Amino acid sequence: MNHYRKLLGLLLSLSLISPLPVSADEVQTLVNELQQLAEKSRQERAADRWLQNALEDLVDKYNFPWKNSLLQDDFSDGDYQHAVTWSVGSGEFWVDRRLGLRSRVEPTYQPVEPQEEPGRSLEKDLTKALVGALLKETLGDKSSSRSESRTPPSPTTTPASIRTQVSIPTTFAIESMFGQNNRPGESGQFEWVVMQEDEGTYGYKVVVTTGETA
């Protein structure tokens, strides 16, 4: 009976023990040591290929040497102009407390004028004016636009864009989470751009295509 009590007490103590919290600096120190070990092992060919790859994959998984956070925003405050000021360049943006920052792009329709040859433009204008005058004289003030053919409008889409400004060094890292919600049959494109100036001549760009064309 005493044996079972001791065993129960041991199990209870094991279930209540929790590991000491490990700081990010301690984790990075361990990763740095593993990285040195992996480099030395590769130089001296001290491990087989599987073990070498597993060790390097482990280092890549946990290696994050970046110490200073220059910009962080998860939009949990419900406002994209509160903690970090974001400026909307085009499109519509709003914050969903569950999904984060969201945007919507709707196509706009503009009539497309048919291209005409320069030499026939004046002749067509004179003919159109003459026909219009004859129809007006025959039908009165009623519209003569029925005889005119209209080109159906073509949809144009302006991407939604939003940006912020922050000073960063030449070496940096970015972590970003995003998702897409296209309607059936639709496709889209998401771009993450880091620019040196507003024109975007120099910088880095990540382009993700979504939908059926992805």
Residue 204 lies in a domain: no
Residue 8: domain span? 2-62
Three-class DSSP labels, 112-159: CCCCCCHHHHHHHHHHHHHHHHHHHHHHCCCCCHHHCCCCCCEEECCC
Residue 161 lies in a domain: no
CA distances (Å), origin 199, targets 92, 149, 180, 194? 21, 41, 26, 11
What pLDDT is recorded for position 78?
85
Work out the angle at residue 61's Cα, subtended by the Cα atoms of residues 55 and 64, and round it to the nearest 5 degrees. 115
Mean pLDDT by 10 residues, the chain (214 residues): 42 44 74 88 88 88 78 84 84 85 76 56 62 60 50 72 86 81 76 80 83 59
Instruction: Mark which of 38, 62, 86 sits at the end of a domain.
Output: 62
Q: 209 Cβ partners below 8 Å, 6+ apart?
A: 187, 188, 189, 190
Residue 169 lies in a domain: no
Which contacts (CB < 8 Å, 24+ apart) does range 46-54 have?
none
Residue 131 lies in a domain: yes
pTM of the model: 0.49
What pLDDT is recorded for position 9?
37
Q: 105 Cβ partners below 8 Å, 6+ apart?
A: 91, 157, 158, 159, 160, 188
Asked whether 202 and 196 are in contact (CB, 8 A), the reply is yes
Instruction: Mark which of 143, 163, 186 sits at the end of a domain.
Output: 143
Encoded tokens for 92? 């519509």
Residue 107 lies in a domain: no
Residues 6-15 as b/e (b if ≥16 CB within 10 A, e otherwise) read: eeeeeeeeee
Asked whether 87 and 164 are in contact (CB, 8 A), the reply is yes
Q: How many domains does the chain have?
A: 2
Residue 43 lies in a domain: yes
Q: What is the DSSP code (8-state) at residue 214?
A: -
Residue 125 lies in a domain: yes
